[in-house]
Amino acid sequence: MGDASPADGAGSGFIRTGETVLHRGHVITLAAATFTGPAGEVMERDVVHHPGAVAVVPVDGDEVVLVRQYRPVLEREMLEIPAGKLDVPGEELVAAARRELVEETGYDAPELVELCRFHNSIGFCDEHTTVYLATDLVPAEPKAVSVEEEYLTVERVPLAEVEGLIDDGTITDAKTVIGLLRALARLRG
């Protein structure tokens, strides 16, 4: 939307020529976007706009602190790293990550170290997530801000078991898999 930059496809021959908003929801906006291809082809794509998210891998000694919470879209509980959307205007990424860590786990950390950034589902959505590593955890007061968070449980998992939980399908959430694997790689040095 607007000026093209290398991240927007400049140099690729594709140009966004328009966008119609179909729905504005609480979190996402659904749009129909029109593009022109390198040879003048016209194509329309469904696009989901998302404000972005942060996630934290909280490590306490030889354990990682995870949350188990109900995910309505899947109609089941999932074992995840604490995370949340960027929904506070002007809030810095690290502050949002710290807020989510406290809200969901009841822990804070004096320092968060960025592990990685990734796009969640580039086939239709512009959501991006920044993942942080938190160590030296200190107790804080959890503050559930959604119905799901009111019922989540905090679970400690030995770091030595993390890869097995990913391999056996216990942990399937993308941000959690990416965050845990990046954290393990960093901690192993």
Q: Which residues are catalytic?
A: 148
Spatial distance between the Cα atoms of 123 and 109, rounded to a whole number of angstroms: 35
**How many CA atoms lie less than 13 Å away from 22 in the CB half-sphere?**
9
Count the Cβ atoms, other than its own, within 10 Å of residue 116: 17
The two structure tokens encoding residue 184: 């393990």
Grouping H, G, I as helix, E, B as strand and the rest as coil, residue 107 is strand
Cα 165 to Cα 184: distance, rounded to the nearest angstrom: 13
154: left (phi over 0), alpha (psi -120 to 50) or beta: beta
DSSP state of 111: -
Strands 128-134 and 53-60: parallel
